[in-house]
Amino acid sequence: MIGQSGIAVRNVRRALPESVAELAKYGVATVHEAMGRTGLMASYMRPVYPGARICGTAVTIFAHPGDNWMLHVAAEMLQPGDVAVLGTSSQNTDGMFGDLLATSFHARGAVGLVTDAGCRDAAELRTMGFPVWSKAVHAKGTVKATVGSVNTPILCAGMLVYPGDVVIADDDGVVIVPKLQATRVAAAAAAREVKEAGNRKRFAAGELGLDVYGMRDSLTKAGLEYFADEDALQLESQK
């Protein structure tokens, strides 16, 4: 059950490495579109430094506010290429993750952390190149008193995450690809990228979206009316 405490699962099925590698080529916006505009975490999730970008498989963590005990339990489950994803049982901005845990996670091969709470040691994380996406950056320390869970399904920043799902994060936020759909989504993202590349060229050459996407008729049908200038609009509204 989501939100259940006291469970630590050692081994989980992860998305296929080749799908993860393929998804790593695309940004969050592209993958989100390729999934039919689904999978995004809330807009408050920000990278601790700009330009950070990761793609990996989720080790999920469920923790209580102000308590980072389960992050140590999760460290043991991390494999190279993993992303730790932390959801909490209630809203919290404490600095649950800092440079010591980052050193540990990095040594285990993890590539980043996504947390619906806060992180700290922002300068050190930037120097180490271990990126974090979080709701806050705050030095607030935490206790180790109450158990949560590791590698159970969690809710994080308004999104459902299963262990082994693909996590992609960049300056635009965080998107989750369910592990069984990773291959299909990677293909859709590739197709979208090709199509967008073509459109980008046309836009760069000065063509309008109105023509590239053929929108003029549908805009008229939807009721859009053009006026030559403000005087023409004025005249119309006085009729």
Q: Is 72 near its own copies (CB under 8 A)?
A: yes
Helix residue spans in 176-215 (DSSP H): 182-204, 209-212
Contact call for residue 210 and its own copies (CB under 8 A):
yes
**Beta-carbon contacts of residue 113 (< 8 Å; ≥ 6 apart):** 83, 84, 85, 86, 97, 102, 105, 119, 130, 131, 132, 133, 134
20, 26, 163, 188: which one binds its own copies (CB under 8 A)? 163
Assess 9 for contact with its own copies (CB under 8 A).
yes
- φ and ψ at residue 4, rounded to 5 degrees: -80, 140
Residue environment code for 113-144, b if the CB has 16+ CB neighbours within 10 A, otherwise e: bbbbbbbbbbeebbeeebbbbbbbbbeeebee
Binding status of residue 38 toward its own copies by CB under 8 A = yes
Least distance between its own copies and beta carbon 21 (Å): 20
If you ran DSSP here, which 8-state letter would residue 15 be given? Answer: -
Q: Is 104 in the site for its own copies (CB under 8 A)?
A: yes
Q: How many residues does the chain have?
A: 239
We find the least distance from the C-beta atom of residue 20 to its own copies, in angstroms, to be: 19
Sole binder of its own copies in the list 24, 155, 183, 193 (CB under 8 A): 155
Determine if 147 is a binding residue for its own copies (CB under 8 A).
Answer: yes
**What residues between 75 and 94 interact with its own copies by CB under 8 A?**
75-76, 89-94
Is position 18 an interface residue for its own copies (rule: CB under 8 A)? no
Q: Please report how close the Cβ of residue 95 comes to its own copies at its closest, in angstroms.
A: 7
